[in-house]
Structure 1
């Protein structure tokens, strides 16, 4: 799709509730995004539990779009 360029997947970035609203999540995402850019990723995908609505609001504030695609998982 984009030649042989890699892509990133973020799953389970969690900030303990006692430490939220201190920009820790933003710093984590900044690090991940900088790393992905450094290895020429063409996109970064984010997976989150469908029930974590507050987390979804945070992700959208960080520029991630939830309406772009739908994710699926199968556990064994």
Structure 2
């Protein structure tokens, strides 16, 4: 199955809200998600829309920054693909799009976080050539 990948224009960024709601188990209100996504779109954030038959079936956020240890890099964030489209190699296609897009923006490094309990994603990213370099700690204030 071949999907289509395109950067979602900032003027259309709110169409990612349903996917973020799924990712967060609907624990964050739609109003707060909208507020945050609009703010994100003014920062170094871009989002890939994944489409099949002109229907949005997934998203992949990207944060661009320069890291002292890596130089210019992209951090992949909140990858969500509708459940009935999983296992069809769309993730492989998505990551190839990310790699090519990041290279076009002169990035040298792709990094990401994944939830510790999301074992299928760990296997996927290891198969993509990612290595675990550390732990991502958080503390709510």
- Bigger Rg, which one: 2
For the aligned pair, the TM-score class normalised by the smaller chain equals 0.7 to 0.9
* Residue 6 in structure 1 maps to residue 46 in structure 2: no
Q: Distance between the aligned counterparts of 2:110 and 2:139, measured in 1? A: 21
Q: What is the TM-score with the length of structure 2 in the denominator?
A: 0.47
Q: Which runs of 4+ in 1 moved over 3 A?
A: 73-76
- Name structure 1 gaps, 5 residues minimum: none
How many Å apart are 1:61 and its aligned residue?
0.6
Change (3 A) 1:73 1:19: same
Change (3 A) 1:75 1:7: farther
Q: Distance between the aligned counterparts of 1:34 and 1:75, measured in 2? A: 35
**Secondary structure at the counterpart of residue 81 of structure 2:** coil
How many Å apart are 1:73 and its aligned residue?
3.2
Which of residues 128, 131, 134 is equivalent to 1:69? 134
- Name structure 2 gaps, 5 residues minimum: 1-67
Q: Distance between the aligned counterparts of 2:69 and 2:116, measured in 1? A: 28
How many Å apart are 1:44 and its aligned residue?
0.7
How many Å apart are 1:72 and its aligned residue?
2.4
RMSD: 1.9
Quick one: higher RCO (CA 8 Å, sep 6+), 1 or 2?
Answer: 1
Q: How many residues align?
A: 74
Change (3 A) 1:7 1:75: farther
